[in-house]
Copies of this chain bind each other. A is one copy, B any other.
Amino acid sequence: MENKIKVGIIGATGYAGAELFRLLYSHRNVEIAAVSSTSFEGKAINEVYPALTNEKTYILCDMDGVIEKSDVIFAALPHGLSEELAAKCDGKGKVLIDLGADFRLVDEAEYTKWYGLEYKYPALHEKTLYCLPEINREKIKDIDIIANPGCYPTSIALGLMPAIKNGLVSTDSVIIDSKSGVTGAGRGLSQTTHYPDNNEAFSAYKAGLHRHTPEIEQTLSMFAGKKVNVTFVPHLLPVNRGILSTIYVKTEKTFDEIYAAYEEAYKNEKFVRLQPKGSFANIKNVRCSNYCDISLHFDEHTKTLIITSAIDNMVKGAAGQAIQNMNIRFGFDEGEGISMLAPSF
């Protein structure tokens, strides 16, 4: 294929960056033109990740090298670095797909409150969009600074969209109990993610204090047309990949009415699979895939809708969704490079 677009990955040796590499390597419409890493500049990417060894050698360069050689730049960086990067790309006909948090929040005050930083280039924030295909697919086609959603927020937004948009549940008390695999914590070392400390272990962390909270509330408020507050408690699961969010909302509607609304909302969505009544979404069924599996249950005696929403945090929660956004932006088949099914075992 001669007309492949050139893609680059900034932060290619972090987990999200490595996952981008893995998926883009098999994408028929792109060619990986450059990869960068601050920590491993000058090394080959497969010296860091032997699993990425293939016919060609990809030497890690610096950020500017990636920008220069690529039409599309994927950035997988810690927060606070992407604005500068967007400024460098701006006006050069490049598309930036940012997997970080810097362009996700519409309200600068929220960004400052949760991340402790101010906007350096406010004008760039006018050009960006929070791109979750199932919400705003059409608008993505025109965006050059694509804010790729966070992992927890993706699982939660897809889990609640039909219920809130259709006014089927109360938004007065939204309880979200999420559980994430350890890759969510990244490649960096910490005692918590040391194997013997995390294996056969399980606990909550940052209860009510996780930085994804404003992002979640921003999206749910958009669905509701009014401010929605949530209680959000993440937990760390002793698995590599996967997020399961269990969401509790009160409702006065019947279960059948709610279930029908979800069927309607997702009937044409390739990557959202509403589970049959009585079944439960399981992270194993979405592992290494771009699917989001959603199941609905109803506790009659407390009038509580129980939503469980499962994604792979590295794919639909990061690299896969970024590629889905690129596919939409460039008019490729939306599933190109990310249509593989999960291994069940």
Q: Which residues of A contact B (CB under 8 A)?
A: 15, 18-19, 22, 25-26, 49-55, 173, 175, 177, 179, 181-183, 187, 189-191, 193-205, 207-208, 229-231, 233, 235, 237-242, 244, 246, 248, 250, 270, 273, 275, 279-289, 293, 295, 297-302, 304, 306, 308, 310, 314, 339-345
Contact = CB atoms under 8 A, between A and B. Distances in A.
B233 A306 contact: yes
Nearest to A217: B301
A175 B25 CA distance: 38
A204 B279 contact: no
B308 A203 contact: yes
Contact of A173 (B250, B286, B293): B250
B240 A238 contact: no
A295 to B, nearest CB: 8
B203 A300 contact: no
B208 A183 contact: no
A214 to B, nearest CB: 11
User: Copy number in this complex?
Assistant: 4
Contacts of A51: 284-287, 289, 341-344
B285 A202 contact: no
Contacts of A279: 50
A342 B55 CA distance: 14
Given A175-B248, A195-B195, 19 more contacts: A22-B344, A25-B341, A49-B344, A51-B342, A175-B304, A189-B189, A193-B194, A193-B196, A194-B194, A195-B199, A195-B240, A197-B345, A200-B284, A201-B239, A203-B282, A208-B302, A231-B306, A233-B297, A237-B238
A268 to B, nearest CB: 11
